[in-house]
Structure 1
């Protein structure tokens, strides 16, 4: 069974049902008013004629919502038929191709590094472009080149650890743990390292550890980041903890 089609049908049924309920209530109120007016007509024949006429109008008033309901159904099904893939909607696969803007950035960065292999800014920019394109192994290699050129510091090691983590399918392999330990020995509240540790802990449901990493990060006064977003993340993790404790 096509679950998406079923979901669309249920939503449309609810919408149309509410529409008809509202219309029926309106017509009942209108019918009551018509009956009262008809009873006040002095001439019996004229009153009967007026009543039949008004009942005819009430019956005809159902044609408008009926056609509107049909139009909604046809319009919705037409959109679904033209844009949906029916049975294949839940069989989509991730697009591994690199966005053309990122691909252009990578190409430009490679050219610049080839021309200026000692350019620190070109190397870090290329490493970041690789990471944005999901080419984490290339990002790690480029960062190694940069670290060999300028020496290791907490920020570069934090960026490298992040690329290694995603390169290894979101795992902290021993090599990555060593890089993280070195980065934190240089700077306890390094931005990239603490964000990485907090994110991993949160995704694993280890909310206490995630909160601890975010709180340590908030002591960082040397790197720029959105402190409000970190506070919001802490609040969300605390809410998760409250839910688990109930």
Structure 2
């Protein structure tokens, strides 16, 4: 059970560090997750057609493990965006993945494919794929995906954490069962 929580937390923090989501307004003080969620909900009441606010609200729900609500928000973000982004598709895929008992369903696969067509090295999509490989005991596939992330040239990745994950997969892959 602890692996589920760790993966979810890791997957949901990655999009926040990259190009998306951008904070539309600075926070007056450090807010709790509930305060931030309430503020986003209030902002959306004022601007219901703001795709970026819906995207941020979706991430707030992901952080609270409220995957149904996150999925709804990501759907709105995609529909309201003139050109949906790879990160939006990857976020929706992440919500569906957890709603589907951590399985890559055909719908999750389609969303990940869209994300990677738009952005070959989309960090949230690749992270979800790598973690799914790892937790499905496909260690070499996980390693290959993590190496793709490392080789992508992105500066905002946690290289130490990825290398640790690769080493863990190598160790587990070499254990004779």
Mapped to 2, the partners of 1:241 and 1:178 lie a distance apart of 28
Displacement after TM superposition at 1:222 (Å) = 4.5
Q: Greater relative contact order: 1 or 2 (C-alpha under 8 angstroms, separation 6 or more)?
A: 2
SS state of the match for residue 114, structure 1?
A: helix
Count of matched residue positions in the alignment of Structure 1 and Structure 2: 146
Q: Which runs of 5+ in 1 are unaligned?
A: 1-100
Q: Which runs of 4+ in 1 moved over 6 A?
A: none
* Partner residue of 1:218 out of 147, 150, 155: 150
Mapped to 1, the partners of 2:159 and 2:109 lie a distance apart of 26
Q: Which has the larger radius of gyration?
A: 1
Deviations 1:59-85 (A, max 9, x none): xxxxxxxxxxxxxxxxxxxxxxxxxxx
The answer to whether structure 1 residue 141 and structure 2 residue 72 are counterparts is: yes
Work out whether residues 191 and 217 of structure 1, in 8 Å CA contact, stay in contact via their aligned partners in 2: yes
TM-score, normalization: structure 2?
0.75
* Partner residue of 2:34 out of 95, 100, 103: 103
Q: Which has the higher helix share?
A: 1
Work out whether residues 165 and 171 of structure 1, in 8 Å CA contact, stay in contact via their aligned partners in 2: yes
* Partner residue of 1:152 out of 54, 77, 84: 84
Deviations 1:108-138 (A, max 9, x none): 2111111112334322221111111111111
Mapped to 1, the partners of 2:165 and 2:150 lie a distance apart of 12
Partner of 2:16: none
SS state of the match for residue 209, structure 1?
A: helix
The answer to whether structure 1 residue 191 and structure 2 residue 118 are counterparts is: no
**Structure 1 pair 223/119, CA: closer, same or farther in 2 (3 Å)?**
farther
Partner of 1:208: 140
Mapped to 2, the partners of 1:215 and 1:133 lie a distance apart of 29
**Structure 1 pair 149/223, CA: closer, same or farther in 2 (3 Å)?**
farther
Deviations 1:174-232 (A, max 9, x none): 11111111111122221011111111111121101110111111122346221111111
Mapped to 2, the partners of 1:130 and 1:216 lie a distance apart of 28
SS state of the match for residue 218, structure 1?
A: helix
Mapped to 2, the partners of 1:120 and 1:208 lie a distance apart of 37
Mapped to 2, the partners of 1:218 and 1:152 lie a distance apart of 25
Partner of 2:9: none
More divergent stretch after superposition (119-128 vs 234-243):
119-128
Aligned-pair Cα RMSD in Å: 2.0
